[in-house]
């Protein structure tokens, strides 16, 4: 991958650096590659290493050998590579959207993760999960062995439709589909609605994995400065002139700021969007962590131009994956075909049956009520822990486990994250969330991952 | 969707037909749409229906209103739509690759499914699944609540690496990743290696969902006639001149024919491919249904230009979804980033733990041994059942549950499937599998779904 050298053979590293030079257009289509001897001398590797690297790049379709004339960059190499990580070759890996994801998903043994995006297992309804699994072991055979219907478990879909109805969002069954995850829901929508080169609006700061996903779709990303009450409307209005196709946002408990959309901004935003071919994707991932419900674009709009997506990884289990999309029936039908083509069938019946059982139990609402109180305590504690370091919250969230904080004058949170990583503490530096790189003094903390005193001491050490 | 009218409001139908006319270039970019009154009269709908249809197409970015001048087709409409199902607007739905998938995944109550791609639950290791779920209910918390590592459960990966080693395919851990399904494995590879307009080789006949997937990637599909021993090598050699990027194939128990690649064709195919920038994806989905192992391109090639994909939906459970990719370490690393961007993390730990437990039990190998004998009986019975109707197997498969059959002179299996569907029996007509539409006299049967006598009587009725 096109970043600072990582473990790998000499050939791996040479292939990566050549790939980067091609991606960065330093070597353009039709260009003759350096001679094998010449490059070997230049890169201080053996000629056989260069030969192997050229062979690999040929196998990737980036180079073409011409008998007697050497290797040439192909026209195919001109097309932007779909390799997500190859799309910003000059970017340091630790500000790459993948850095926090990969570090959090594959931590070193004993790593502490105040930068990660989920709660420890003992904050989740573990007992309800276990009883659901025991019940599942007695379920009828088809649940254990068959593919899911193309739109996923009907009983879980009915349950989600009922929850929408509680919000005065009356949907027909053909307006809701289940997906393998909220991330996959977002990806399916991008595949349906976006073409390479389209303009897409996101919040700045915003969820870094959306930025990674959008890069893989080769679209132009425009960041809207996020105020505590929602996106900056002047920036939104200006961006509309660029004909954006999508706007991806969280209304409730926005990631990373924890802010919540105000009714006034919600209303003005929909009014400004009227008449523009803009679709809004409202991500409900954190909705169940809200103590009281707040305004939703999907509800105000009635799902005309808004698509609602969500999942259960943050509130119930990240191990049992399932997401959903609610929207216009004709879009759901096309998205269902896309899901069949790319995943064949809806999400695992084993997974959806576990979720359905946990959600259907009254215990889940009691669990949420306790969780809201516990999270409020943890947020207060985190604010108190960080204050002595001169780290202050940008806004006090109404719920959830994120705290978006400002560091003291002169602090570069990217450097702090690098230094903390050396102490095996994984932080989430602000610019990972900021397409405009305007969050160098900010950091997202997960208040449920800060109980170990080593977090604060590592943070303190990394700052000094 | 752009096919024969389906349930939906007048507006839905009007939107679909306009979308098709735009997709079919009957209405080109920059064209002025008919006046609202004019179209309303022409289509015999109310003007308000036309207004709503134009508004929807505007929201989709296909139309643009110009004040006073009416509605115009946008330049964006020129780009091929990513809507999979919109890519062959003139194709009858019942020969669309989605038809069999959607009919099989969402059957009418009481439907019989000799055309579907999986076995009934009682052919699968149900007892082992149930005991694995009971064990899972007692598993450590992290298995129930956390995200998977980016490449999926290490213990299941080790188990798969060991199985590869048994085939003399020695892999390092960084050469194998788990995915949400074999379909998703294929999709991730397409995203990594393909660009719109690339040429991709498939078997003709071949797995229809691969064709659907490739359409969604907007690539040129070239079908290689399939002989009982593998792809036609003359056609393969000729196709190489077109610079194909990928070749997707099953070596063992090819879908739909049940044929198996011969060592000679495997060897010649790899020799012909040498020096071409072609990557071969070998799909192992049916491998465990082979009584004795046959030759593999991945093993002969040592995973230099071959990627191995597979899953467990056919042999173990289609409800617990998981697939895998084995290949070059640098590709697996890039594919892992793509999986993080599109799914965040590897496949569900709950799913992979169930699979690991079932696969690790000695009982699984005993189950397979019994299954091989039971399938052999079922294949013989199906051949005997079909003979009186003049339906003969194209080849006698060494294993698996598919039977690829030739119908009597003059039979159009598409028509037979349509007539059988009216009797709520879902068949898999040959041309669904044939990019070249050369299989109009062929039909794929699933021998595990033919025990109900109603299947044969419906088939007989549909043929006469």
Write out chain B in H/E/C secondary structure.
CCCCCCCCCHHHHHHHHHHHHHHCCCCCCCCECCCHHHHHHHHCCCHHHHHHHHHHHHHCCCEEEECCCEEEECCHHHCCCCCHHHCCCCCCHHHCHHHHHHHHHCCCCCCECCCCCCCCHHHCCHHHHHHHHHHHCCCCHHHHHCCCCCCCCHHHHHHHHHHHHHCCCCCCHHHEEEECCHHHHHHHHHHHHCCCCCEEEEEECCCHHHHHHHHHCCCEEEEEEEECCEECHHHHHHHHCCCCCEEEECCCCCCCCCCCCCHHHHHHHHHHHCCCCCEEEEECCCHHHCCCCCCCHHHHHCCCCEEEEEECCCCCCCCCCCEEEECCHHHHHHHHHHHHHHHCCCCCHHHHHHHHHHHHCHHHHHHHHHHHHHHHHHHHHHHHHHHHHCCEECCCCCCCCEEEEECCCCCCHHHHHHHHHHCCECCEEHHHHCCCCCCCCEEEEEHHHCCCHHHHHHHHHHHC
Q: At what angle do helices A126-136 and B126-136 cross, to 10 degrees?
A: 160
- Residue B16, chain A, CB below 8 Å: the answer is yes
Write out pLDDT tens, residues B235-285: 999 999 999 999 999 999 999 999 999 999 999 999 999 989 999 999 999
A432 CB near a chain B CB, below 8 Å?
no
Of A22-31, B282-291, B353-362, the one with minimum mean pLDDT is: A22-31
Question: Which residues of chain A does B345 touch, with a Cβ-Cβ cutoff of 8 Å?
Answer: 105, 318
Residue identified by tokens 């399939």 is B226
B130–A144: do the CB atoms touch at under 8 Å? Answer: yes
Chain B within 8 Å of A449 (Cβ-Cβ)? no
Indicate whether A84 belongs to any domain. no
Identify all chain A residues contacting B245, using CB atoms and an 8 Å cutoff: 61, 76
- Mean residue pLDDT of chain A comes to 88
Lowest mean pLDDT among A35-49, A233-247, B403-417: A35-49
- Residue A367 forms contact with B (CB below 8 Å): no
Q: How far B442 CA sits from the closest chain A CA (Å)?
A: 23
pLDDT digit string, tens, across residues A66-103: 777 888 887 655 443 333 333 333 345 555 667 778 87
What pLDDT does A18 receive?
85
Q: Find residues 251-270 of chain A whose CB sits inside 8 Å of chain B.
A: none
Confidence label for A15 from pLDDT (cuts 50, 70 and 90) = confident
B5 confidence band (pLDDT: 50, 70, 90):
very low
Please check whether residue B271 lies inside any domain of the structure: yes
Residues A98, B341: C-beta atoms closer than 8 Å? yes
- Which of residues 32 through 71 in chain B touch A, CB cutoff 8 A? 56, 58-61, 64-65
For residue A36, what are the domain limits? 10-73
Mean pLDDT of B458-462: 95
Q: B302-325, pLDDT tens digit by residue?
A: 999 999 999 999 999 999 989 999
Is residue A318 domain-resident? yes
> Over the stretch A107-157, which tens digit does the pLDDT of each residue have?
888 899 999 999 999 999 999 999 999 999 999 999 999 999 999 999 999
CA distance B389 to chain A (A): 31
pLDDT tens per residue, range B254-267: 999 999 999 999 99
A330 touches chain B (CB under 8 A): yes
How far apart are the CA of A464 and the nearest CA of chain B, in angstroms?
32
Considering CB atoms only, which of B145, B181, B354 is closest to A318? B145
Does residue B416 register a pLDDT over 90? yes
Mark yes or no for CB contact B277/A209 under 8 Å.
no
Residue B202 domain flag: yes
Are residues A57 and A177 both part of a single domain? no
Residues of chain A neighbouring B279 (CB-CB closer than 8 A) = 59
CATH number at residue B275: 3.40.640.10
Indicate the SS3 state at residue A326: strand
What CATH number is given to the structural domain containing A18? 1.10.10.10
Nearest residue, CB atoms, B83 vs list A136, A196, A334: A334
The torsion angles phi and psi of B366, rounded to 5 degrees, stand at -65, -45
CB contact under 8 A, A1 and B333: yes
> Residue B369: its pLDDT value, please?
92
Do A302 and A446 lie in one domain? The reply is: no
Mark whether A332 and A294 lie in a shared domain: yes
Cβ <8 Å between B338 and A83:
yes
B141 and B202 part of one domain: yes
A324 assigned to some structural domain: yes
Q: Confirm or reject contact between B130 and chain A (CB < 8 A).
A: yes
Do B298 and B349 share a domain, yes or no? Answer: yes
Contact A122 B141 (CB under 8 A): yes
Least confidently predicted of A95-99, A187-191, B18-22, B118-122: A95-99
Q: What is the CATH number of the domain that holds B384?
A: 3.90.1150.10
| Chain A interface includes B102 (CB < 8 A) | yes
Q: Which of A332, A361, A390 is the last residue of a domain?
A: A361
Q: Do B345 and A192 touch (CB under 8 A)?
A: no
Q: So what's the pLDDT on residue B95?
A: 54
Same domain, A353 and A377: no
In a domain, A271, yes or no: yes
- Which residues of chain A does B350 touch, with a Cβ-Cβ cutoff of 8 Å? 133, 317, 319-320, 350-351, 354
A191 contacts B82? CB cut-off 8 A: yes
What average pLDDT is seen over chain B?
88
B85 touches chain A (CB under 8 A): yes
Chain A CB within 8 Å of residue B350 CB: yes
What residues of chain A lie within 8 A of the CB of B89, using their CB?
Answer: none
The tens digit of pLDDT for each residue in A243-280 reads 999 999 999 999 999 999 999 999 999 999 998 999 99
**Same domain as A440, residue A380:** yes
Q: Supply the pTM of this predicted model.
A: 0.80
Q: What residues in A contact B61, CB-CB < 8 Å?
A: 193, 245, 277
Q: What pLDDT is stored for residue A324 in this prediction?
A: 98
Which member of A122, A137, A334 has the closest CB to residue B85? A334
Query: Among B341, B361, B381, where does a domain finish?
Result: B361
Q: Is the pLDDT of residue B39 over 80?
A: yes
Q: Reply yes or no on whether the pLDDT at A3 is more than 70.
A: no
Residues A151 and A65 occupy one common structural domain: no
Whether residue B353 sits in one domain with residue B407: no
- Is A5's pLDDT higher than 70? no
CB contacts of A130 in chain B (<8 Å) are 137-138, 144
- B337/A121 touch (CB, cutoff 8 Å), yes or no: no
Query: What is the per-residue pLDDT across B332-390, written as a single tens digit (0 to 9) for each?
Result: 998 998 898 888 888 999 999 999 999 988 788 889 999 999 999 999 999 999 999 99
pLDDT for A404-452, tens place per residue? 999 999 999 999 999 999 999 999 999 999 989 899 999 999 999 999 9
User: How many residues does this entry show for chain A?
Assistant: 464
Assess whether B335 and B204 both reside in one domain: yes
What pLDDT, on a 0 to 100 scale, did the predictor assign at position B188?
A: 95
Higher per-residue pLDDT: B58 or B405: B405
CA distance B210 to B194: 14
Share of chain A above pLDDT 90, in %: 66
Going by pLDDT thresholds of 50, 70 and 90, the confidence category of residue A64 is confident
Q: How confident is the model at residue A180 (pLDDT cuts 50, 70, 90)?
A: very high
Question: Contacts of residue A143 in chain B, CB cutoff 8 Å?
Answer: 319
Give the number of domains in chain B: 3
Domain boundary among B361, B377, B412: B361
Collect all residues of chain B within an 8 Å Cβ-Cβ radius of residue A279. 59
B394 shares its domain with B356: no
Please say if the pLDDT value at position A60 is more than 70: no
Q: Does B218 touch chain A (CB under 8 A)?
A: no
Contact between A319 and B275 using a beta-carbon 8 Å cutoff: no
Q: Is residue B259 part of a domain?
A: yes
Q: What is the pLDDT of residue B6?
A: 42
Is residue B225 exposed (0-12), middle (13-18) or buried (19+ Cβ within 10 Å)?
middle
Residue B76 reports pLDDT greater than 60? no
Q: Which of A162, A186, A317 is nearest to A250 (CA)?
A: A186
Q: What is the pLDDT of residue A286?
A: 95
Mean pLDDT confidence for B440-452: 96
pLDDT at B236: 98
Cβ distance B181 to A122 less than 8 Å, yes or no, reads no
Interface contact flag, A348 B16, Cβ < 8 Å: no
User: Given this model, what pLDDT does residue B58 score?
Assistant: 75
* B192/A59 Cβ within 8 A: no
Residues A293 and A180 in one domain: yes
A3 touches chain B (CB under 8 A): no
CA–CA distance, B143 with A354 (Å, rounded to integer): 14
Residue A249 is assigned to a structural domain of this protein: yes
- pLDDT band for A30, please (50, 70, 90 cuts): confident
pLDDT band at A186 (very low <50, low <70, confident <90, very high): very high
- Closest Cα in chain A to B352: A319
With a pLDDT cut of 70, the percent of chain B lying above it is 92
Measured between beta carbons, which residues in chain A are less than 8 angstroms from residue B54? Answer: none
The pLDDT score that the predictor gives to residue A96 is 64
Mean pLDDT of A292-303: 95
Q: Which residues, in sequence order, are bridge partners of residue A361? A: none
In chain B, residues 294-323 whose CB comes closer than 8 Å to chain A:
304-305, 313, 317-321
Of the partner residues A102, A150, A279, the one whose CB lies closest to the CB of residue B102: A150
ipTM greater than cut 0.85: no
Judging contacts by C-beta atoms under 8 Å, the chain A residues touching residue B344 are 101, 105, 181, 183, 209, 313
Residue-wise pLDDT tens digits, A206-241: 998 888 899 888 899 999 999 999 999 999 999 999
Q: Which residues of chain A make contact with B196, given a CB cutoff of 8 A?
A: 196
Interface size A-B, in CB pairs within 8 Å, comes to: 302
What is the arithmetic mean of pLDDT over B93-110? Answer: 74
Percent of chain A with pLDDT over 70: 92
């Amino acid at each position: 991958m096109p970043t600072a050298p990582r473990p790998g053979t000499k050939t791996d590293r040479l292939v990566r650096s050549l790939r980067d030079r091609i991606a960065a257009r330093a070597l353009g289509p039709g260009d003759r590659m350096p001679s094998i001897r010449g490059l070997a001398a230049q890169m201080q590797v053996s000629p056989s290493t260069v030969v192997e690297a050229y062979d690999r790049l040929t196998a990737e379709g980036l180079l073409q050998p011409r008998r007697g004339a050497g290797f040439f960059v192909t026209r195919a190499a001109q097309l932007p590579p779909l390799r997500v990580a190859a799309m910003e070759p000059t970017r340091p890996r630790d500000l790459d959207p993948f850095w926090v994801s990969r570090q959090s998903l594959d931590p070193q043994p004993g790593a502490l993760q105040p930068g990660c995006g989920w709660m420890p297992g003992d904050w989740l309804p573990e007992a309800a999960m276990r009883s659901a699994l025991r019940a599942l072991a007695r379920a009828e055979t088809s649940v254990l062995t068959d593919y899911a219907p193309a739109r996923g478990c009907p009983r879980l879909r009915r349950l989600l439709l009922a929850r929408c109805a509680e919000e005065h969002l009356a949907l027909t069954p053909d307006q809701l589909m289940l997906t393998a995850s909220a991330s996959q829901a977002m990806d399916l929508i991008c595949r349906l609605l976006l073409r390479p080169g389209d303009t897409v609006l996101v919040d700045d700061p915003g969820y870094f994995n959306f930025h990674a996903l959008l890069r893989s779709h080769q679209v132009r990303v425009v960041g809207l400065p996020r105020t505590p009450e929602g996106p900056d409307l002047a920036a939104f209005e200006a961006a509309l002139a660029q004909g954006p196709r999508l706007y991806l946002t969280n209304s409730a408990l926005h990631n990373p700021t924890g802010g919540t959309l105000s009714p006034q901004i919600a209303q003005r935003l929909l009014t400004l969007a009227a008449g523009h071919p803009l679709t809004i994707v409202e991500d409900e991932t954190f909705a169940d962590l809200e103590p009281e419900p707040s305004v939703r674009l999907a509800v105000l709009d009635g799902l005309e131009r808004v698509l609602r997506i969500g999942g259960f990884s943050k509130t119930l289990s990240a191990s049992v994956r399932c997401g959903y999309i609610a929207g216009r029936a004709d879009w759901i039908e096309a998205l269902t075909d896309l899901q069949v083509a790319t995943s064949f069938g809806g999400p695992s019946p084993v997974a959806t049956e576990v979720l359905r059982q946990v959600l259907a139990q009254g215990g889940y609402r009691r669990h949420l009520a306790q969780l809201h109180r516990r999270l409020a305590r943890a947020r207060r504690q985190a604010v108190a822990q960080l204050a002595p370091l001169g780290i202050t919250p940008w806004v006090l969230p109404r719920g959830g486990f994120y705290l978006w904080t400002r560091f003291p004058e002169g602090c570069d949170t990217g450097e702090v994250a690098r230094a903390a990583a050396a102490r095996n503490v994984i932080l989430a530096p602000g610019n990972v969330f900021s397409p405009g790189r305007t969050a160098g003094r900010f950091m997202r903390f997960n208040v449920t991952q800060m109980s170990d005193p080593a977090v604060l001491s590592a943070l303190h050490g990394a700052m000094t």
